[in-house]
Amino acid sequence: VGLILPALSPTGTWEYGLSGNTSDGSASSAPATAHLLLRALWPPVKLVTVLLLVMTAGVIGLASPWMAVMVPTLAWRFLSTKSTYWDWSQWHYNAVLMPIALGALLEVLLRLRRRHAQAADDVARPRPKTLRRRTASSLSLWHPCVPTWLRATAVVAVVIPAVTALWIAPALPLAQMTEPGWGQVPARAASAQEIVSLIPRGATVESDLGLLPYLVPQHTVYWVGTAQGVTPDYVVVDPLSGSWGAIAPQDAAAWAQEQTGTRYELIFDRDDYQVAKRVG
């Protein structure tokens, strides 16, 4: 983030640096002079994210060195002033961390199994270390020589992430599969396709998250959250995309003109989509 990403940026800086993007009004509530530790752990939504990662690791996963792999990602997210980086419900930011947490859980379980299976093997069949052989049964945590507390710990450690997954499932995108009409072509799809076809190939476009991914292959696209100083050929506004909250522009042309000081005209206004074109 300090070398590669700035080198790939036209401005020579990382646009999503620790200074964050406060154009959405989501600045950190911690004072600017506060200690980094306070900034990293406040507001409490950050602690909730950490708690869910710990639960995904079955708690005992904290004993694995793999948990340390999460630190850089959590650091840049929590030290940023952009609140969407902090929230556990922003699932795509956690997608890279969940496998690490589960891997840490499995690593600790495997280490415990090996340690106590070795002890069981020593008791059952004492022999020189060089001749020792482990059987499948001796590697099990259910071996009679394994302490009851260890078996209970293993069971609880596996149950915790399973229960956590069921608990948060309704808030995750996968739950949308249970909604009526899921998988059907949206009513606005035809308008969205018309907009993509309407904008000439190679044009510069400023867009919210609604159509941004579909515009990228054939256009130079800027997100409305980080497009300061850009005067695009077209501006696409989708108030239903979630990028705007409750402050979506009512007139894309007027909004674009206010942002850039350049005149725009509205050329598309249907199905809550608006497209403004730069004049001249």
pLDDT range class, residue 125, cuts 50, 70, 90: low
| 187/30: higher pLDDT | 187
pLDDT reading at 110 higher than 70: yes
Give residue-wise pLDDT tens across range 163-209.
888 888 787 777 878 888 787 888 889 999 999 999 999 999 999 88
pLDDT reading at 52 higher than 90: no
Task: Count CB neighbours of 219 within 10 A.
Answer: 22
For position 98, what pLDDT does the model report?
86
What is d(CA 56, CA 70) in angstroms, rounded to the nearest whole number?
A: 13
| 179/245: higher pLDDT | 179
pLDDT reading at 86 higher than 60: yes
Q: Are strands 204-207 and 273-278 parallel, antiparallel or unpaired?
A: unpaired
Q: 261 in the Ramachandran plot: left (φ > 0), alpha (ψ -120 to 50) or beta?
A: left
